[in-house]
Amino acid sequence: MDGSLPKLYNAWFCPFAQRAWIAMLAKKAEFEYIEQNPYNKTPEWLAINPNGLVPVIVHNGNAVYESSICIEFIDEAFSTPVTILPKDPYKRAHGRMWGDFVSKKLVPHFYTMLLKQDKEDQEEAKTKYLEGLRTFTNEMDPEGPFFQGKHLGYVDIMWAPFAARMHILEHYRGFSVPQTDEFKRYHHWWDIIKRHSAVANTLQDEEKMLQVYQRYAFNTTRSQVSEAIRKGTALP
Ligand code: GSH
Protein backbone atom coordinates (compact mmCIF):
# COMPACT_ATOMS: atom_id res chain seq x y z
CA MET A 1 0.00 0.00 0.00
CA ASP A 2 1.50 3.34 -1.00
CA GLY A 3 -1.21 5.44 0.66
CA SER A 4 -2.10 7.44 -2.45
CA LEU A 5 -5.59 7.48 -3.92
CA PRO A 6 -6.37 5.02 -6.71
CA LYS A 7 -6.19 6.71 -10.09
CA LEU A 8 -8.80 6.27 -12.79
CA TYR A 9 -7.51 6.99 -16.30
CA ASN A 10 -10.63 7.90 -18.20
CA ALA A 11 -11.70 9.57 -21.43
CA TRP A 12 -14.94 11.54 -21.08
CA PHE A 13 -16.40 10.22 -24.36
CA CYS A 14 -15.57 6.54 -23.85
CA PRO A 15 -18.38 4.11 -22.92
CA PHE A 16 -15.91 1.51 -21.61
CA ALA A 17 -14.20 4.03 -19.37
CA GLN A 18 -17.60 5.23 -18.21
CA ARG A 19 -18.22 1.76 -16.78
CA ALA A 20 -15.23 2.03 -14.44
CA TRP A 21 -16.20 5.59 -13.56
CA ILE A 22 -19.79 4.58 -12.67
CA ALA A 23 -18.46 1.64 -10.62
CA MET A 24 -16.14 3.96 -8.64
CA LEU A 25 -19.00 6.37 -7.93
CA ALA A 26 -21.47 3.58 -7.11
CA LYS A 27 -18.96 2.02 -4.74
CA LYS A 28 -18.36 5.44 -3.16
CA ALA A 29 -14.63 4.78 -3.40
CA GLU A 30 -12.23 7.70 -3.16
CA PHE A 31 -10.22 8.10 -6.34
CA GLU A 32 -8.38 10.56 -8.51
CA TYR A 33 -9.91 11.14 -11.96
CA ILE A 34 -7.35 11.59 -14.73
CA GLU A 35 -8.57 12.59 -18.19
CA GLN A 36 -6.46 10.63 -20.69
CA ASN A 37 -6.43 10.86 -24.48
CA PRO A 38 -6.04 7.15 -25.31
CA TYR A 39 -5.20 7.87 -28.97
CA ASN A 40 -2.00 9.68 -28.08
CA LYS A 41 0.27 6.66 -27.66
CA THR A 42 3.09 8.26 -25.69
CA PRO A 43 5.60 5.93 -24.00
CA GLU A 44 4.23 7.13 -20.62
CA TRP A 45 0.69 6.11 -21.57
CA LEU A 46 1.78 2.73 -23.00
CA ALA A 47 3.73 2.08 -19.81
CA ILE A 48 0.42 2.31 -17.92
CA ASN A 49 -1.53 0.13 -20.37
CA PRO A 50 0.46 -1.54 -23.17
CA ASN A 51 -2.81 -1.86 -25.13
CA GLY A 52 -3.23 1.92 -24.99
CA LEU A 53 -6.92 1.74 -24.06
CA VAL A 54 -8.96 3.47 -21.38
CA PRO A 55 -10.10 2.75 -18.72
CA VAL A 56 -7.16 1.95 -16.44
CA ILE A 57 -7.13 1.93 -12.65
CA VAL A 58 -3.79 2.30 -10.93
CA HIS A 59 -3.93 1.16 -7.32
CA ASN A 60 -0.93 0.54 -5.06
CA GLY A 61 1.32 0.77 -8.09
CA ASN A 62 -0.59 -1.88 -10.06
CA ALA A 63 -2.48 -1.17 -13.27
CA VAL A 64 -5.83 -2.85 -13.94
CA TYR A 65 -7.46 -2.53 -17.37
CA GLU A 66 -10.40 -3.97 -19.37
CA SER A 67 -13.62 -2.32 -18.28
CA SER A 68 -15.45 -5.46 -17.11
CA ILE A 69 -12.41 -6.49 -15.05
CA CYS A 70 -12.14 -2.94 -13.68
CA ILE A 71 -15.73 -3.15 -12.39
CA GLU A 72 -15.00 -6.41 -10.59
CA PHE A 73 -11.72 -5.06 -9.24
CA ILE A 74 -13.40 -1.93 -7.88
CA ASP A 75 -16.02 -4.11 -6.20
CA GLU A 76 -13.37 -6.30 -4.55
CA ALA A 77 -10.57 -3.85 -3.79
CA PHE A 78 -12.52 -1.17 -1.94
CA SER A 79 -14.41 -2.20 1.14
CA THR A 80 -17.43 0.04 1.35
CA PRO A 81 -20.99 -1.02 2.26
CA VAL A 82 -21.93 -1.08 -1.46
CA THR A 83 -21.64 -4.31 -3.44
CA ILE A 84 -21.77 -4.32 -7.22
CA LEU A 85 -21.87 -8.07 -7.88
CA PRO A 86 -24.35 -10.04 -5.75
CA LYS A 87 -22.95 -12.25 -2.97
CA ASP A 88 -24.79 -15.41 -4.05
CA PRO A 89 -22.61 -17.50 -6.44
CA TYR A 90 -25.39 -18.18 -8.91
CA LYS A 91 -26.46 -14.54 -8.99
CA ARG A 92 -22.81 -13.51 -9.50
CA ALA A 93 -22.54 -15.94 -12.40
CA HIS A 94 -25.87 -14.69 -13.78
CA GLY A 95 -24.55 -11.12 -13.65
CA ARG A 96 -21.37 -12.14 -15.47
CA MET A 97 -23.34 -14.09 -18.09
CA TRP A 98 -25.41 -11.01 -18.94
CA GLY A 99 -22.39 -8.74 -18.84
CA ASP A 100 -20.87 -11.09 -21.39
CA PHE A 101 -24.08 -10.89 -23.44
CA VAL A 102 -23.69 -7.08 -23.51
CA SER A 103 -20.11 -7.44 -24.79
CA LYS A 104 -20.85 -10.07 -27.44
CA LYS A 105 -24.45 -9.56 -28.52
CA LEU A 106 -25.04 -5.84 -28.13
CA VAL A 107 -21.89 -3.69 -28.25
CA PRO A 108 -20.58 -4.98 -31.65
CA HIS A 109 -23.89 -4.06 -33.33
CA PHE A 110 -23.75 -0.54 -31.86
CA TYR A 111 -20.41 0.08 -33.59
CA THR A 112 -21.37 -1.79 -36.77
CA MET A 113 -24.54 0.28 -37.16
CA LEU A 114 -22.51 3.47 -36.93
CA LEU A 115 -19.45 2.50 -38.96
CA LYS A 116 -21.09 0.76 -41.93
CA GLN A 117 -21.95 3.18 -44.71
CA ASP A 118 -23.97 0.69 -46.73
CA LYS A 119 -27.72 0.91 -45.96
CA GLU A 120 -28.22 -2.85 -46.03
CA ASP A 121 -25.40 -3.42 -43.53
CA GLN A 122 -26.87 -0.72 -41.29
CA GLU A 123 -30.31 -2.35 -41.43
CA GLU A 124 -28.83 -5.74 -40.57
CA ALA A 125 -27.06 -4.24 -37.54
CA LYS A 126 -30.29 -2.52 -36.44
CA THR A 127 -32.17 -5.83 -36.59
CA LYS A 128 -29.49 -7.62 -34.57
CA TYR A 129 -29.24 -4.78 -32.04
CA LEU A 130 -32.99 -4.79 -31.49
CA GLU A 131 -33.05 -8.58 -31.23
CA GLY A 132 -30.31 -8.38 -28.57
CA LEU A 133 -32.15 -5.65 -26.71
CA ARG A 134 -35.33 -7.74 -26.69
CA THR A 135 -33.50 -10.72 -25.18
CA PHE A 136 -31.73 -8.44 -22.68
CA THR A 137 -35.01 -6.78 -21.64
CA ASN A 138 -36.72 -10.13 -21.16
CA GLU A 139 -33.99 -11.15 -18.71
CA MET A 140 -34.42 -8.10 -16.47
CA ASP A 141 -35.76 -8.79 -12.99
CA PRO A 142 -39.49 -8.10 -13.42
CA GLU A 143 -39.68 -6.34 -10.05
CA GLY A 144 -36.47 -4.42 -10.66
CA PRO A 145 -36.01 -1.65 -10.96
CA PHE A 146 -32.42 -2.66 -11.79
CA PHE A 147 -31.36 -5.56 -14.02
CA GLN A 148 -30.82 -7.99 -11.15
CA GLY A 149 -33.17 -6.47 -8.59
CA LYS A 150 -33.12 -3.69 -6.04
CA HIS A 151 -29.56 -2.37 -6.45
CA LEU A 152 -27.49 -0.91 -9.22
CA GLY A 153 -25.24 -3.80 -10.21
CA TYR A 154 -22.75 -5.23 -12.65
CA VAL A 155 -25.07 -5.70 -15.64
CA ASP A 156 -26.52 -2.20 -15.25
CA ILE A 157 -23.00 -0.75 -15.27
CA MET A 158 -21.97 -2.83 -18.29
CA TRP A 159 -24.92 -1.54 -20.33
CA ALA A 160 -25.69 1.98 -19.01
CA PRO A 161 -22.97 3.76 -21.07
CA PHE A 162 -24.37 2.31 -24.29
CA ALA A 163 -27.96 3.04 -23.27
CA ALA A 164 -26.76 6.61 -22.74
CA ARG A 165 -25.56 6.69 -26.37
CA MET A 166 -28.93 5.82 -27.90
CA HIS A 167 -29.37 9.41 -29.11
CA ILE A 168 -26.26 8.94 -31.30
CA LEU A 169 -27.93 6.07 -33.14
CA GLU A 170 -31.14 8.06 -33.41
CA HIS A 171 -29.32 11.08 -34.83
CA TYR A 172 -27.06 9.31 -37.33
CA ARG A 173 -29.07 6.18 -38.14
CA GLY A 174 -32.68 6.89 -37.15
CA PHE A 175 -32.60 4.00 -34.68
CA SER A 176 -34.47 4.05 -31.37
CA VAL A 177 -35.90 1.49 -28.96
CA PRO A 178 -39.61 1.20 -29.87
CA GLN A 179 -42.12 2.60 -27.38
CA THR A 180 -44.03 -0.70 -27.35
CA ASP A 181 -45.16 -3.00 -24.55
CA GLU A 182 -42.29 -5.42 -25.11
CA PHE A 183 -39.79 -2.64 -24.33
CA LYS A 184 -41.74 -1.06 -21.46
CA ARG A 185 -39.45 -2.66 -18.89
CA TYR A 186 -36.40 -1.39 -20.82
CA HIS A 187 -37.62 2.21 -20.83
CA HIS A 188 -38.48 1.99 -17.14
CA TRP A 189 -35.00 0.61 -16.44
CA TRP A 190 -33.35 3.52 -18.29
CA ASP A 191 -35.56 6.07 -16.50
CA ILE A 192 -34.30 4.76 -13.16
CA ILE A 193 -30.68 4.27 -14.24
CA LYS A 194 -30.15 7.73 -15.71
CA ARG A 195 -31.28 9.28 -12.42
CA HIS A 196 -29.02 7.14 -10.22
CA SER A 197 -26.33 9.54 -9.01
CA ALA A 198 -23.44 7.23 -10.02
CA VAL A 199 -24.71 7.25 -13.61
CA ALA A 200 -26.07 10.81 -13.72
CA ASN A 201 -22.69 12.23 -12.68
CA THR A 202 -20.98 10.58 -15.65
CA LEU A 203 -23.46 11.64 -18.36
CA GLN A 204 -22.12 14.07 -20.96
CA ASP A 205 -23.56 16.83 -23.08
CA GLU A 206 -25.48 15.14 -25.92
CA GLU A 207 -24.39 17.65 -28.55
CA LYS A 208 -20.71 17.23 -27.62
CA MET A 209 -21.13 13.48 -27.82
CA LEU A 210 -22.68 13.68 -31.31
CA GLN A 211 -19.63 15.63 -32.47
CA VAL A 212 -17.21 12.99 -31.20
CA TYR A 213 -19.18 10.13 -32.76
CA GLN A 214 -19.19 11.81 -36.17
CA ARG A 215 -15.90 9.97 -36.79
CA TYR A 216 -17.76 6.69 -36.35
CA ALA A 217 -20.84 7.72 -38.33
CA PHE A 218 -18.65 8.76 -41.29
CA ASN A 219 -16.24 5.86 -40.84
CA THR A 220 -13.12 8.01 -40.49
CA THR A 221 -11.98 6.90 -37.02
CA ARG A 222 -8.88 4.72 -36.68
CA SER A 223 -9.75 3.48 -33.18
CA GLN A 224 -8.93 -0.13 -32.37
CA VAL A 225 -12.64 -0.90 -32.03
CA SER A 226 -13.37 0.45 -35.52
CA GLU A 227 -10.46 -1.49 -37.07
CA ALA A 228 -11.84 -4.69 -35.51
CA ILE A 229 -15.33 -4.04 -36.91
CA ARG A 230 -13.83 -3.41 -40.38
CA LYS A 231 -11.86 -6.63 -40.22
CA GLY A 232 -14.74 -8.57 -38.68
CA THR A 233 -12.62 -9.66 -35.72
CA ALA A 234 -13.41 -9.60 -31.99
CA LEU A 235 -13.41 -6.16 -30.36
CA PRO A 236 -10.25 -5.24 -28.43
N1 GSH B 1 -12.16 -3.85 -24.23
C2 GSH B 1 -11.76 -2.55 -23.74
C3 GSH B 1 -12.45 -2.30 -22.42
O4 GSH B 1 -13.57 -2.83 -22.22
O5 GSH B 1 -11.88 -1.63 -21.54
C6 GSH B 1 -12.10 -1.46 -24.78
C7 GSH B 1 -11.67 -0.08 -24.35
C8 GSH B 1 -11.64 0.90 -25.55
O9 GSH B 1 -11.78 0.52 -26.71
N10 GSH B 1 -11.39 2.19 -25.24
C11 GSH B 1 -11.23 3.17 -26.32
C12 GSH B 1 -9.75 3.49 -26.46
O13 GSH B 1 -9.04 3.63 -25.48
C14 GSH B 1 -11.92 4.49 -26.06
S15 GSH B 1 -13.66 4.29 -26.09
N16 GSH B 1 -9.29 3.62 -27.71
C17 GSH B 1 -7.95 3.91 -28.07
C18 GSH B 1 -7.56 3.26 -29.38
O19 GSH B 1 -8.43 2.71 -30.06
O20 GSH B 1 -6.38 3.29 -29.72
Q: Is residue 194 one of the residues assigned to a domain?
A: yes
| Pocket flag, ligand 1, residue 16 (CB < 6 Å) | yes
Number of Cβ atoms within 10 Å of the Cβ of 68? 18
| Pocket flag, ligand 1, residue 223 (CB < 6 Å) | yes
Q: Assess whether 37 and 115 both reside in one domain.
A: no
Q: Assess whether 227 and 147 both reside in one domain.
A: yes
CATH code of the domain covering residue 100: 1.20.1050.10
Closest ligand 1 atom to residue 235 Cα is 1
Pocket test for ligand 1, best of 53, 56, 103, 224 (most atoms within 8 A of CB): 53
Q: Assess whether 33 and 139 both reside in one domain.
A: no
Low-confidence ranges of the chain (pLDDT < 70): 1-2
pTM for the complete prediction? 0.98
Read off the pLDDT of residues 79-107 as tens digits, 9 standing for 90 and up. Answer: 999 999 999 999 999 999 999 999 999 99
Number of domains in the chain: 2
Domain that holds residue 55: 7-77
Q: Assess whether 30 and 107 both reside in one domain.
A: no
SS3 15: helix
Structure ipTM: 0.99
Q: Assess whether 106 and 149 both reside in one domain.
A: yes
Q: Write the CB contacts of 209 (distance below 8 Å, at least 6 apart in sequence).
A: 13, 165, 167, 168
